[in-house]
Amino acid sequence: MTAERSRPYPLGVTLVEGGANVAVYSERADKVVVSIFDHRGREKQTVLTERTGHVFHGFVPGLTAGTRHGLRVHGPWDPANGLRFSPAKVLLPPRSRAVTGSWDNTQAVFGHQLGRPRRRSDTNGARHVALGVAVDRQEFDWGDHERPHTPLSETIIYELHVKGFTKLMEWVPEEFRGSYAGLAHPAAVEYLKNLGVTAVELLPIHQFVQDAHLLEKGLRNYWGYNSIGFFAPHNEYAATGDTGHQVDEFKGMVKALHAAGIEVILDVVYNHTAEGNDLGPTYSYKGIDNPSYYRLVEGDAAHYFDTTGTGNSVNVSHPAALQLIMDSLRYWVEDMHIDGFRFDLATTLTRQGGDASLHSAFLTLIQQDPTLAEVKLIAEPWDVAGYQLGGFPADWSEWNGKFRDDVRDFWRGTPGVLSTLSQRVLGSPDIYEDSRRAPLSSVNFVTAHDGFTLADLTSYEEKHNEANGEDNRDGESDNRSRNYGAEGPTDDEAINALRIRQRKNFLATVLLSAGVPMILGGDEIGRTQQGNNNAYCQDNEISWFDWENADWDLHRFTTELIRLRRTEPALRPEWYRHAPEVGGPDTVQIVRTDGEPFGDDDWGDPEARSIGFVLRHEDADAFLLLFNAAGNGVDFTLPASDGQPWELALSSDPELTVAADAPNVILGETSFALLRSRRSDENQGVDGDDHRDE
Average pLDDT over residues 634-652: 95
Q: Which amino acid is at 644?
A: Q
Determine the Cα–Cα distance for residues 314 and 691; give it in Å rounded to an integer: 50
Cβ proximity of 255 and 142 under 8 Å: yes
Q: What's the alpha-carbon Rg for the chain, to the nearest Å?
A: 27
SS3 247: helix
Residues sharing a CB contact under 8 Å with residue 463, sequence separation 6 or more, in sequence order = 452, 472, 475, 476, 477, 479, 531, 532, 533, 534
- State whether the Cα torsion 451-456-459-464 is positive or negative: negative
Q: Tell me the whole-structure pTM to 2 decimals.
A: 0.94
> Which of 322, 268, 267 shows the shortest CA–CA distance to 295?
322
Average pLDDT over residues 20-48: 97
Per residue in 266-310, pLDDT (tens digit) is 999 999 999 999 999 999 999 999 999 999 999 999 999 999 999
Q: Is the peptide bond before 10 cis (omega within 30 degrees of 0)?
A: yes
| Domain of residue 650, CATH code | 2.60.40.1180
Per residue in 87-120, pLDDT (tens digit) is 999 999 999 999 999 997 654 333 333 333 444 4
**Per-residue DSSP letter, 254:** H
Determine the Cα–Cα distance for residues 121 and 604; give it in Å rounded to an integer: 70
Q: How many CB atoms lie within 10 A of CB 364?
A: 14
> Which of 370, 321, 363 shows the shortest CA–CA distance to 343?
363
Q: Reply yes or no on whether 374 is catalytic.
A: no
Catalytic pick from 242, 289, 344, 539? 344
Cβ proximity of 15 and 134 under 8 Å: yes
In this prediction, residue 576 carries a pLDDT of 75
Label residue 642 by pLDDT band (50, 70, 90). Answer: confident
* Alpha helices by DSSP H, 298-452: 319-334, 346-349, 361-368, 401-411, 418-425, 429-432
Q: Is residue 2 over pLDDT 60?
A: no
% residues pLDDT > 90 (the chain): 87
Determine the Cα–Cα distance for residues 228 and 207; give it in Å rounded to an integer: 6
* Residue 20 domain-assigned (yes or no): yes
Determine the Cα–Cα distance for residues 310 and 87; give it in Å rounded to an integer: 26
User: Last residue of a domain, which of 105, 132, 159?
Assistant: 132
Per residue in 552-568, pLDDT (tens digit) is 999 999 999 999 999 99
SS3 284: coil
Residues sharing a CB contact under 8 Å with residue 273, sequence separation 6 or more, in sequence order = 226, 227, 228, 283, 284, 285, 293, 312, 314
Class of residue 552 by CB neighbours under 10 A (exposed 0-12, middle 13-18, buried 19+): exposed
> Which of 216, 189, 187 shows the shortest CA–CA distance to 108?
216
The whole-chain average pLDDT of the chain stands at 93
Determine the Cα–Cα distance for residues 492 and 36; give it in Å rounded to an integer: 64
Q: Is residue 324 over pLDDT 90?
A: yes
Average pLDDT over residues 431-460: 96
* Residue 579 domain-assigned (yes or no): yes
Determine the Cα–Cα distance for residues 185 and 182; give it in Å rounded to an integer: 5
Catalytic pick from 380, 406, 539, 621? 380
Q: Give CA separation, 320 vs 285, 294, 303, in Å.
A: 11, 10, 20
Determine the Cα–Cα distance for residues 214 and 531; give it in Å rounded to an integer: 20
User: Last residue of a domain, which of 113, 132, 151?
Assistant: 132
* Residue 86 domain-assigned (yes or no): yes
* Residue 475 domain-assigned (yes or no): no
In this prediction, residue 358 carries a pLDDT of 84
Partners of 636 in beta bridges: 665
In this prediction, residue 582 carries a pLDDT of 64
* Residue 233 domain-assigned (yes or no): no
> Which of 518, 548, 549 shows the shortest CA–CA distance to 449?
518
> Which of 451, 644, 421 shows the shortest CA–CA distance to 512?
421
Transcribe 84-146 into DSSP letters: E--TTS-B--TT-S-EES---TTS-TTGGGGSSPPSS-SSTTTTSS-EEE---TT----TT--
Q: Is residue 625 over pLDDT 50?
A: yes
Q: Is residue 689 over pLDDT 80?
A: no
Determine the Cα–Cα distance for residues 588 and 600; give it in Å rounded to an integer: 17
Per residue in 666-684, pLDDT (tens digit) is 999 999 999 999 987 544 4
Partners of 292 in beta bridges: none
Q: How many domains does the chain have?
A: 2
Transcribe 624-664 into DSSP letters: EEEEE-SSS-EEEEPPPPSSSPPEEEEES-TT----TT-SE
Expressed as residue numbers, the domain containing 74 is 10-132
Q: Is residue 693 over pLDDT 70?
A: no
Q: Is residue 581 over pLDDT 90?
A: no
Average pLDDT over residues 394-420: 97
| Domain of residue 78, CATH code | 2.60.40.10
Q: Reply yes or no on whether 344 is catalytic.
A: yes
Q: Is residue 488 over pLDDT 90?
A: yes
Label residue 579 by pLDDT band (50, 70, 90). Answer: low
Determine the Cα–Cα distance for residues 537 and 218; give it in Å rounded to an integer: 10
Per residue in 168-191, pLDDT (tens digit) is 999 999 999 999 999 999 999 999
Transcribe 463-502 into DSSP letters: ---GGGTSTT-SS-S------TTSSS----HHHHHHHHHH
